Amino acid sequence: MKRNLRARKFAFEETLMSRTILLVLVAAVAVWAPSVLLGKTSSSHSIQVANKTLVERLGYPADAKLLIVHADDLGLAHSVNAAAIKAFESGLVTSGSIMVPCPWLPEIAAYARTHAEADLGLHLTLTSEWKPYRWGPVLSKDRVASLLDDSGYFYLTESEAASHANVKEVEAEIRAQIDRARRFGINPTHLDSHMGTLYQNKALFEMFLRVARETKLPIRMSKEWFASTDYLPSILNPNDVVMDRIISIEPAVPAEGWAKFYTDSIRNMHPGVTEIISHLAYDDEEMRAATADHPDWGSAWRQRDLQFLTSDAFRKVLQENHIKLITWREIGKMQYPK
Amino acid sequence: MKRNLRARKFAFEETLMSRTILLVLVAAVAVWAPSVLLGKTSSSHSIQVANKTLVERLGYPADAKLLIVHADDLGLAHSVNAAAIKAFESGLVTSGSIMVPCPWLPEIAAYARTHAEADLGLHLTLTSEWKPYRWGPVLSKDRVASLLDDSGYFYLTESEAASHANVKEVEAEIRAQIDRARRFGINPTHLDSHMGTLYQNKALFEMFLRVARETKLPIRMSKEWFASTDYLPSILNPNDVVMDRIISIEPAVPAEGWAKFYTDSIRNMHPGVTEIISHLAYDDEEMRAATADHPDWGSAWRQRDLQFLTSDAFRKVLQENHIKLITWREIGKMQYPK
């Protein structure tokens, strides 16, 4: 996911947010009480869940500061795969998610097969945003006509994709992406959505949530998003997992502001589960060409993410602030115990 | 096209070849006489064609040494596109052909739209040979099931592709590639076949020839191939265009042998039409990763092609040997006059 989530535009002050979240959780429990009573979920489990924070559900003390450092867009380009693999080896980037329709999928799938410990999810993909270099669906094109632009690729933007999408076709395509990943030997630990397309409207998000629950995979959601959607709280159940906060650097941050942005973000972390969404790549010929007409989320911007998030400075600020790095695999095991 | 054509393994000595060609041309005229009599081609034009060499048909003196310097695999990767564009700018590489199913098609199509003079054909593609980085068909996958391997991409090799291919599906796919190129603003000057898949058997080649005639585009064929196929002469007609010779450097040539290979090839050119098939790319991260498990036709090998074929040494040997550079556009205008 590389776009601004609309939620962030409406970010509330922390205190106000906490109150909102409390109200939302109460509402969510009320909405889901009937299904609990009907035995759709274990009532004792639900009550237990409803009374605990995500940190506590994960077995940590309530004041723990847990962090997932996540690399999006794996499979997009060789430059992205190489950067992500380097970042995983640093131990500071804990997780990543893979774009199954992209042509460099086989390279990152080979890594997944030989690194079973790697925390790799799927970055479900319905857009193809770089004009010189594009891709299309996993399914036959005639089965997902609503997802394709005039040139036969996925749409360039998440808003075009969401506004044209037939939800049944999207469901078939994302199920096909999950199946294909598994056929390539990837055992995904979580799901998210490239450019946030699956979060663009209620119909898409409800379907996404249903597919995720059926496949028993956690999905990226943040409490902050509650402030900008009227539907999100109403469709959650107590077993769903919602991050307390997501951090993602914006294109507007100047190169010299990188260290400060991440350092301040870590220093300001509250107890809870936070995810840093990063976009790692090298500023090389391939990535420069792909992002040539796309100044935001470009190759130099991505290389700055790689440099800071694998640096000793980042390691130091994590240690100084007693940040515990976790993975989506931990969350999945808690959310869907075997 | 990057594989050895089987023809080259059976290359005949030049004198013997000339006699073979004469016999073949006589046979070809005999086979095609009925269609000439039925008015399918102009009889006076056919007789004229049968009596002239390709050089003469193109309006040059019989002893002219004409050369097309051709870059294959455009669209495959950014590295290939960038190298080809640099080579075109040198004026020494005259032509190239584009792989429509590959993800970097839009980049080279943008070049084609802004460089109407560029001599760009289509490198019809039915294989996807680099294991970490792959692609599939233009058509819906369910319409071309015979062209796809278990992973849903094109087969890795031309022999697998040809042995599984349903000819009707191949025809639909290559017509779709031609249509798609035109929708992208490419006005192709010629056709050839990536890895020679369409030359692998008579059924595929006959269909390819029929599609090329219908679309009025010349295709790559060499007289040398007559020695290794029993069907090729029998299906040609007098209006078809057959190169006198094709030159393509092999992976076995050591790096220090590059200049000698091309210099000797140019010095040994006889009158006639020759094509150098080259494979240009930079030895950069993208291309090294794509070709990592594929020592032949790799990134360093491709960069050597780029370096020599854009060099002053190449320019000099062309001048010294009175080589006239031509394009496929010239051939197409002669073969299919408006």
**What residue type is assigned to position B135 of the chain?**
W
Partner residue opposite A78 with nearest CB, options B82, B180, B285: B285
pLDDT at B55: 97
Mean pLDDT value across residues B310-325: 98
CB B289 to CB A142 under 8 A? no
3-class SS of residue B179: helix
Partner residue opposite B82 with nearest CB, options A105, A135, A285: A285
pLDDT greater than 50 at residue A40: no
CB B284 within 8 A of CB A285: yes
CA distance B146 to B169: 7
B143 CB within 8 Å of a chain A CB: yes
pLDDT greater than 80 at residue A29: no
pLDDT per position as a tens digit, B135-150: 999 999 999 999 999 9
| Own/partner long-range contacts of A150-155 (Cβ < 8 Å, ≥24 apart) | A151/B106, A151/B183, A151/B184, A152/B138, A152/B180, A153/A128, A154/A101, A154/A125, A154/A126, A154/A127, A154/A128, A155/A126, A155/A127, A155/A128
pLDDT per position as a tens digit, A253-312: 999 999 999 999 999 999 999 999 999 999 999 999 999 988 788 999 999 999 999 999
Residue of B nearest to A78 (CA): B286
Mean pLDDT value across residues A189-196: 98
Residue to mutate among A86, A99, A102, A104, with most B CBs inside 10 A, is A104
Q: Which two tokens stand for residue A198?
A: 């699956």
pLDDT greater than 90 at residue A1: no
CB B107 to CB A132 under 8 A? yes
Low-confidence winner among A45-54, B16-25, B104-113, B274-283 (lowest mean pLDDT): B16-25
Mean pLDDT value across residues B66-74: 98
Helices (H), ranges, B73-129: 78-90, 105-114
Say if the ipTM goes beyond 0.90: no
User: Which of these, B54, B74, B14, lies nearest to B275 by C-alpha position?
Assistant: B54
Mean pLDDT value across residues A236-243: 94
For chains A and B, CB pairs below 8 A equal 89
CB A106 to CB B180 under 8 A? no
pLDDT per position as a tens digit, A58-112: 999 999 999 999 999 999 999 999 999 999 999 999 999 999 999 999 999 999 9
Pairing type for strands B191-193 and B119-124 reads: parallel
CA distance B18 to B224: 10
CB B183 to CB A135 under 8 A? no
pLDDT at B18: 39
A103 CB within 8 Å of a chain B CB: yes
- When the pLDDT of each residue in chain B is averaged and rounded to a whole number, the result is 88
Distance from CA of B315 to the nearest CA of A (A): 28
User: Which of these, B278, B330, B334, lies nearest to B309 by C-alpha position?
Assistant: B278
Q: Which residues 16-75 of chain B have a CB within 8 Å of chain A?
A: none
- When the pLDDT of each residue in chain A is averaged and rounded to a whole number, the result is 88
B139 CB within 8 Å of a chain A CB: yes
pLDDT greater than 70 at residue B81: yes
Read off the pLDDT band of B50 (50, 70, 90): low
CB A132 to CB B183 under 8 A? no
pLDDT at B22: 38
- Strand partners of residue B274: B67, B245
CB A285 to CB B78 under 8 A? yes
Q: What angle do CA A248, A249, A253 make, to 5 degrees?
A: 165
A185 CB within 8 Å of a chain B CB: no
Read off the pLDDT band of A49 (50, 70, 90): low
pLDDT at B227: 82
Secondary structure letter of residue B297 according to DSSP:
T
Partner residue opposite B285 with nearest CB, options A103, A180, A284: A284
pLDDT per position as a tens digit, B9-35: 323 233 333 333 333 333 443 334 333
Read off the pLDDT band of B293 (50, 70, 90): confident
Residue to mutate among B107, B143, B148, B182, with most A CBs inside 10 A, is B107
3-class SS of residue B334: helix
Partner residue opposite B103 with nearest CB, options A134, A139, A143: A134
pLDDT at A19: 39
Contact residues on chain B for A81, CB-CB shorter than 8 A: 289
Read off the pLDDT band of A50 (50, 70, 90): low
Partner residue opposite A133 with nearest CB, options B103, B184, B285: B103
CB B140 to CB A141 under 8 A? yes
Contact residues on chain A for B107, CB-CB shorter than 8 A: 132-133, 289
pLDDT at B39: 35
Low-confidence winner among A227-231, B41-45, B173-177 (lowest mean pLDDT): B41-45
The 3-class SS string of chain A reads: CCCCCHHHHCCCCHHHHHHHHHHHHHHHHHHHHHHHHCCCCCHHHHHHHHCCCHHHHCCCCCCCEEEEEEEEEECCCHHHHHHHHHHHHHCCCCEEEECCCCCCHHHHHHHHHHCCCCEEEEEECCECCCCCCCCCCCCCHHHCHHHECCCCCEECCHHHHHHHCCHHHHHHHHHHHHHHHHHCCCCCCCEEEHHHHHHCCHHHHHHHHHHHHHCCCCECCEHHHHHHCCCHHHHCCCCCCCECEEECCCCCCCHHHHHHHHHHHHHCCCCEEEEEEECCCCCCHHHHHHCCCCCCCCHHHHHHHHHHHCCHHHHHHHHHCCEEECCHHHHHHHHCCC
Read off the pLDDT band of A324 (50, 70, 90): very high
Name the more confident of B1 and B46.
B46
Partner residue opposite A285 with nearest CB, options B132, B142, B286: B286
pLDDT at A294: 81
Contact residues on chain A for B290, CB-CB shorter than 8 A: 78
pLDDT at A307: 98
CA distance B287 to B283: 6
A160 CB within 8 Å of a chain B CB: no
pLDDT per position as a tens digit, A139-191: 999 999 999 999 999 999 999 999 999 999 999 999 999 999 999 999 999 99
Name the more confident of B44 and B253.
B253
CB B78 to CB A138 under 8 A? no
**What residue type is assigned to position B195 of the chain?**
M
pLDDT per position as a tens digit, B208-245: 999 999 999 999 999 988 888 888 888 999 999 999 99
Distance from CA of B13 to the nearest CA of A (A): 44
Mean pLDDT value across residues B105-110: 98
Read off the pLDDT band of B49 (50, 70, 90): low
Mean pLDDT value across residues B35-55: 55
Model confidence, pTM: 0.86
* Percentage, residues of chain B above pLDDT 70: 85
Distance from CA of B235 to the nearest CA of A (A): 35
- Please, what is the end-to-end C-alpha distance for chain B in angstroms? 29
Containing B161, the helix (H) or strand (E) segment is: helix B158-164
Cβ atoms < 10 Å from Cβ of B237? 18
Mean pLDDT value across residues A310-331: 98
Name the more confident of A152 and A29.
A152
Task: Give Cα separations from B89 to B85, B95, B306 (angstroms).
Answer: 6, 11, 12
pLDDT at B2: 41
CB A140 to CB B138 under 8 A? no
In the Cβ-directed half-sphere of A284, how many Cα atoms lie within 13 Å? 21
DSSP labels for B207-235? Answer: HHHHHHHHTT--B--BGGGGGG-SSTGGG
CB A107 to CB B141 under 8 A? no
Q: What are phi and psi of B249, to 5 degrees?
A: -70, 145
Contact residues on chain A for B183, CB-CB shorter than 8 A: 151
Contact residues on chain B for A282, CB-CB shorter than 8 A: 285
Partner residue opposite B78 with nearest CB, options A142, A151, A286: A286
